[in-house]
């Protein structure tokens, strides 16, 4: 018998050698029916995996809180799709077919790109394979036999060649289809219920543009048809909110072919951006930050000193000045170090909180560029906090509270993730353990629930990441606070302590928006372009019915501008109904309709984007109303 500790802490004794699925059946038939994979002592395992020792066991289903249950389900469906493609295109060469956060894809080497007709046939064949309820079997082979089995499949053979000698290589077989795979997978194809092919695109083998272009099919699957329909409805809503589409329609930004990955902000986009940056400055001043600005280009030696040259060079742009190599900054941190080193500091000055809206450049592959979400130049709302070791916890707590305050204003919920030491880290075990323990303690003291993300910290220190959730339930990683004992060492940063001796400060890196550009993209989709009034590029549109009211309207516009309200006058010779529809399409919060009656009575008639006709009122009354809404960030 072996003792198994379940997720809720309860313990059961089971016969040695039982599979995870068999243990699930002992717990409940419902759990066994819905199980997709298991987690044994923190490691994801197939349902077929046998338990031979005492262990901790989590049994995942499609609806488990994390993605592991879904990924096993989707990975199985990717094999069903590959089998369907093989039935229709017998000469296909298979690459990889992983589960991702929203479904799965599979890369195929075929003679020509898949057409819509091809994808419809593949989807129908997938449904047949599901209906056949083919048993899925797992087996392993030595390396040479694995290579022989995958004869005629060059991509699979390339992957096998890279595996260590002597290692047993696992495969999954379902009927006439066998695939190289580590798993986990469901027990039969019939466990999958509703499937949908979403889209296809070209994709280079291993993401390398020097390799052959393959054809990638993206798809999704769910245990219930109703869940699939909900997801498809969500996709349709996301298309309507696409920030690239709305950015063009609302004249916020553009990407020119002369600068792929380098966004241009148009006047209305700059109005939105300036509001965000002004808000950032105001809230940071209130929280004791000073603002700095550091250069975009600094010499190569600096980037060696910071460690970026060794850890990040492939993402950096470089140039030569006076026969010396320079790097265009991918991060603001080293410049912040030099600002701190500009003078001697006393312990009495710490903490020093230095904030910067710093423009950085990073080389992204052309195929990965995506509107404002993935660009080659962007502005990070960085801050670097230099503090005493005794101040670490209060400073991290201060950052977390500031993040909470900012996100709540935009209506974002968020989750917290703690990332620990990666493989390519700098520094001693002692410093890393101290840093990780400090972050855990702060989160515990603030009663903040968090997920542990092992091995995903920055190369110089552990970090807390903040993942905001938009109105469609999508998650975006924006804010972060990173604890760093390495940079102060590398840059020989000091302060004079109470004892009159030099000591190392501790450094915190942190952002809240993350990237201004990306955050604006998120806001566009979150609000579907209908920004709250304090963010709206145009807050009021003044609409004269005819030219006779133009002079009166110009006076209104002047008065609104004088009190800081962003206003436009539509003086086109168009019917008023057309002007109103145009203003609504531009998602302007308030419209003023001005005719002879309003002019004669010195009034305005107001229409709200949300509530429709608000009737007539005095201009002063309207100004007070809108200023209150802007001030309160309604």
pTM of the model: 0.83
Residue 102 has pLDDT above 80, yes or no: yes
Full DSSP string of 371-421: TTTB-SEEEEEEEEEEE-GGGHHHHHHHHHHHHHHHHHHHT-EEEEEEE--
Whether residue 103 contacts residue 200, with contact meaning beta carbons closer than 8 Å, is answered with: no
The widest CA-to-CA distance across the chain, in whole angstroms, is 93
For residue 367, pLDDT over 80 is answered with no
Tokens, residue 16: 């040695």
With cut-offs at 50, 70 and 90, classify the pLDDT of residue 438.
Answer: confident
Let me know: does 139 contact 133? Beta carbons within 8 Å: no
| Rg of the chain over all Cα atoms, to the nearest angstrom | 29
Residues 323 and 351: beta-carbon distance below 8 Å? no
CATH 3.30.465.10 fits 268-292+335-526, yes or no: no
Q: What is the mean pLDDT of residues 44-67?
A: 90
Task: Return the number of other C-beta atoms located less than 10 Å from residue 183's C-beta.
Answer: 20
Mean pLDDT in residue range 153-182? 92
| CA 346, chain centre distance (Å) | 39
Q: What pairs with residue 2 in β-bridges?
A: 14
Res 126 pLDDT > 90: yes
Instruction: Give 86's pLDDT tier (boundaries 50, 70, 90).
Output: very high
User: Which of 395, 413, 465, 457 has its CA nearest to residue 432?
Assistant: 457
Q: What is the C-alpha separation between 488 and 502, in angstroms, rounded?
A: 13
Q: Residue range 425-436: average pLDDT? A: 81
Q: What is the pLDDT of residues 217-263, one digit of tens each?
A: 999 999 999 999 999 999 999 899 999 999 999 999 999 999 999 99
Provide the CATH topology of domain 68-240. 3.30.980
Residue 389: phi and psi, rounded to 5, are: -55, -35
Class of domain 2-61: alpha beta
Handedness of CA 397, 400, 406, 407 (dihedral sign): negative
Confidence band of 66 (pLDDT split at 50, 70, 90): confident
Angstrom distance (rounded) from CA 352 to CA 262: 33
Domain ranges of the chain: 2-61, 68-240, 268-292+335-526, 540-631
The count of other CB atoms within 10 Å of the CB of residue 278 is: 10
Residue with tokens 């950032």: 280
Q: What is the pLDDT of residue 151?
A: 94
Q: Is 577 exposed, middle or buried (0-12, 13-18, 19+ CB in 10 A)?
A: exposed
pLDDT tens string 569-598: 999 999 999 999 999 999 999 999 999 999
Average pLDDT value for residue range 536-564 = 95
Confidence of residue 290 (pLDDT cuts 50, 70, 90): very high
Report pLDDT for 453. 86
Who contacts 276 (Cβ-Cβ below 8 Å, separation ≥6)?
513, 516, 519, 520, 535
Task: Tell me what percent of the residues of the chain surpass a pLDDT of 70.
Answer: 100
Q: How confident is the model at residue 458 (pLDDT cuts 50, 70, 90)?
A: confident
Q: What is the mean pLDDT of the chain?
A: 92
Q: Chain-centre distance of CA 148, in angstroms?
A: 41
Just list the catalytic residues.
Answer: 333, 362, 380, 382, 384, 463, 509
Strand, helix or coil for residue 57: strand
Name the fold adopted by 540-631.
Rossmann fold (3.40.50)
Taking 3-state DSSP, the helix, strand and coil percentages for the chain, each rounded to the nearest 5, stand at 40, 30, 30
């Amino acid at each position: 018998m072996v003792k198994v500790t379940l997720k809720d802490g309860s313990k059961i004794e089971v016969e040695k050698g039982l599979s995870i699925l068999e243990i699930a059946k002992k717990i409940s038939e419902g759990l066994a029916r819905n199980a997709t994979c298991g987690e044994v002592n923190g490691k994801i395992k197939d349902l077929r995996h046998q338990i031979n020792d005492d262990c901790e066991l989590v049994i995942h289903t499609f609806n488990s809180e994390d993605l592991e249950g879904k990924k096993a389900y989707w990975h199985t469906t990717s094999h069903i799709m590959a089998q369907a493609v093989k039935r229709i295109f017998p000469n296909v060469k298979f690459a990889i077919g992983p589960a991702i956060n929203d479904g799965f894809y599979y890369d195929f080497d075929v003679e020509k790109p898949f057409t819509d007709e091809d994808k419809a046939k593949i989807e129908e064949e997938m449904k047949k394979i599901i209906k056949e309820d083919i048993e899925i079997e797992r087996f392993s082979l030595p390396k040479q036999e694995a290579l022989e089995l995958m004869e005629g499949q060059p991509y699979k053979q390339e992957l096998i060649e890279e595996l260590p000698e002597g290692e047993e290589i696992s495969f999954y077989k379902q009927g006439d289809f066998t695939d190289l795979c580590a798993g986990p997978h469901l027990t039969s194809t019939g466990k999958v219920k509703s499937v949908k092919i979403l889209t296809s695109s070209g994709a280079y083998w291993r993401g390398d543009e020097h390799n052959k272009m393959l054809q990638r099919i993206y798809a999704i699957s769910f245990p219930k048809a109703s869940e699939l329909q909900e997801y498809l409805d969500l996709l349709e809503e996301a298309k309507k909110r696409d920030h690239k589409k709305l950015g063009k329609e609302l004249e916020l930004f553009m990407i020119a072919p002369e600068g792929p990955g380098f966004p241009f902000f148009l006047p209305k986009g700059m109005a939105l951006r300036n509001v965000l940056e002004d808000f950032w400055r105001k809230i940071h001043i209130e929280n004791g930050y000073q603002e700095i600005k550091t250069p975009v280009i600094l010499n190569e030696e600096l980037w060696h000193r910071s460690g970026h040259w060794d850890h990040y060079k492939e993402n950096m742009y470089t140039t030569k000045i006076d026969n010396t190599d320079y790097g265009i900054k991918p991060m603001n941190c080293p410049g912040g170090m030099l600002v701190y080193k500009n003078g001697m500091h006393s312990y009495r000055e710490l903490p020093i909180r230095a904030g910067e809206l710093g423009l950085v450049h990073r080389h992204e592959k052309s195929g990965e560029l995506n509107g404002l979400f993935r660009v080659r130049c962007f502005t990070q709302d960085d801050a670097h906090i230099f503090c005493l070791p005794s101040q670490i916890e209060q400073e991290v707590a201060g950052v977390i509270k500031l993040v909470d305050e900012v996100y709540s204003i935009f209506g974002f919920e968020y989750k917290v993730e703690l990332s620990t030491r990666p493989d390519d880290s700098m520094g001693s075990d002692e410093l890393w353990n101290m840093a990780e323990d400090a972050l855990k303690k702060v989160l515990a003291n603030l009663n903040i629930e968090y997920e542990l993300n092992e091995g995903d910290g920055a190369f110089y220190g552990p970090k807390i990441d903040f993942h905001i959730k938009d109105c469609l339930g999508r998650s975006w990683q924006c804010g972060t606070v990173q604890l760093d004992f390495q940079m102060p060492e590398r840059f020989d940063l000091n302060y004079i302590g109470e004892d009159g001796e030099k000591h190392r400060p501790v450094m915190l890196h942190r952002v809240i928006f993350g990237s201004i550009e990306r955050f604006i993209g998120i806001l566009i989709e979150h609000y579907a372009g209908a920004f709250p009034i304090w963010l709206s590029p145009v807050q009021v549109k003044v609409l004269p019915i005819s030219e006779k009211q133009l002079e009166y309207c110009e006076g209104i516009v002047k008065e609104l501008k004088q009190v800081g309200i962003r206003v436009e006058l539509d003086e086109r010779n168009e019917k008023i109904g057309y002007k109103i529809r145009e203003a609504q399409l531009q998602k302007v919060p308030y419209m003023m309709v001005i005719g002879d009656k309003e002019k004669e009575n010195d009034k305005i008639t107001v229409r709200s984007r949300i509530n429709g006709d608000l009737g007539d009122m005095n201009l002063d009354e309207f100004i007070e109303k809108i200023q209150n809404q802007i001030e309160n960030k309604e």
